[in-house]
Amino acid sequence: FPSRLPQVGTTIFSTMSALAQQHQAVNLGQGFPDFGCDPRLLHAVTDAMQAGHNQYAPMPGIAALRQAVSDKMQALYGRRYNADSEITVTAGATQGILTAILACTQPGDEVIVLDPCYDSYVPNIELAGATAVRVPLTPGSFAPDFAKIAAALTPRTRLLIINTPHNPSATVWSDAQMRQLEDLLAPTNVLLLSDEVYEHMVFDGQPHQSVARFPGLAARAFIVSSFGKTYHVTGWKVGTIAAPAALMAEFRKVHQFNVFSVNTPMQAALASYMADPAPYLELPAFYQRKRDLFLHGLQATRLKPLPTRGTYFQCVDISAVTDLPEADFCRWLVQEIGVAAIPLSAFYGDGFDQQVVRFCFAKEDATLLAALERLKKL
Q: Residue 214 or 287: which CB sits closer to ligand GLN?
A: 287
Closest approach of ligand PMP to the CB of residue 92, in Å: 3
Kindly tell me which residue out of 116, 144, 228, 265 binds ligand PMP, with binding defined by CB under 6 A: 228
167 touching ligand PMP, by CB under 6 A:
yes
DSSP bridge pairs for 192:
160, 221
Kindly tell me which residue out of 124, 226, 264, 355 binds ligand PMP, with binding defined by CB under 6 A: 226
Closest CA to 15 of 104, 132, 119: 119
SS3 123: helix
Closest approach of ligand PMP to the CB of residue 364, in Å: 20
Q: How far apart are CA 331 and CA 132, in angstroms?
A: 29
Measured CA to CA in angstroms, residue 82 lies from 34, 66, 199, 263 at distances of 35, 9, 20, 22
ω into 305 cis (within 30 of 0): no
Q: How far apart are CA 241 and CA 255, in angstroms?
A: 11
92 touching ligand PMP, by CB under 6 A:
yes
**Contact (CB, 8 A) for 182 and 216:** yes
210 touching ligand PMP, by CB under 6 A:
no
314 touching ligand GLN, by CB under 6 A:
no
Q: Residue 11 or 301: which CB sits closer to ligand GLN?
A: 11
31 touching ligand GLN, by CB under 6 A:
yes
Query: Which one of ligand GLN, ligand PMP, none interacts with residue 265, CB within 5 to 8 A by kind?
Result: none
Residues in CB range of 69: below 8 A, 6 or more apart: 81, 83, 87, 225, 240, 242, 274
30 touching ligand GLN, by CB under 6 A:
yes
**Contact (CB, 8 A) for 34 and 28:** no
Kindly tell me which residue out of 15, 167, 171, 345 binds ligand GLN, with binding defined by CB under 6 A: 167
Kindly tell me which residue out of 109, 110, 126, 195 binds ligand PMP, with binding defined by CB under 6 A: 195
Q: Residue 98 or 271: which CB sits closer to ligand GLN?
A: 98
165 touching ligand GLN, by CB under 6 A:
no
Q: Residue 31 or 284: which CB sits closer to ligand GLN?
A: 31
Residues in CB range of 30: below 8 A, 6 or more apart: 13, 14, 16, 17, 340, 342, 360
Number of residues that bind ligand PMP (CB under 6 A): 14
Q: What is the DSSP string of 275-298?
A: T--HHHHSHHHHHHHHHHHHHHHH
34 touching ligand GLN, by CB under 6 A:
no
Q: How far apart are CA 97 and CA 177, in angstroms?
A: 23
Closest approach of ligand GLN to the CB of residue 174, in Å: 23
Q: How far apart are CA 186 and CA 41, in angstroms?
A: 42
**Contact (CB, 8 A) for 308 and 204:** no
Kindly tell me which residue out of 88, 99, 163, 314 binds ligand PMP, with binding defined by CB under 6 A: 163
Binding mask 31-70 for ligand PMP (x = CB under 6 A): x---------------------------------------
Q: Residue 120 or 367: which CB sits closer to ligand PMP?
A: 120
Q: How many alpha carbons lie under 13 Å from residue 58 in its C-beta half-sphere? A: 13
Q: Per CB under 6 A, which region of 131-139, 213-221, 234-242, 330-338 contacts ligand PMP?
A: 234-242
**Contact (CB, 8 A) for 210 and 76:** yes
226 touching ligand GLN, by CB under 6 A:
no
169 touching ligand PMP, by CB under 6 A:
no
Query: Which one of ligand GLN, ligand PMP, none interacts with residue 226, CB within 5 to 8 A by kind?
Result: ligand PMP
Where along the sequence are the contacts to ligand PMP (CB under 6 A)?
31, 92-94, 118, 163, 167, 195, 197, 226, 228, 234, 237, 239
Where along the sequence are the contacts to ligand GLN (CB under 6 A)?
11, 13, 30-31, 167
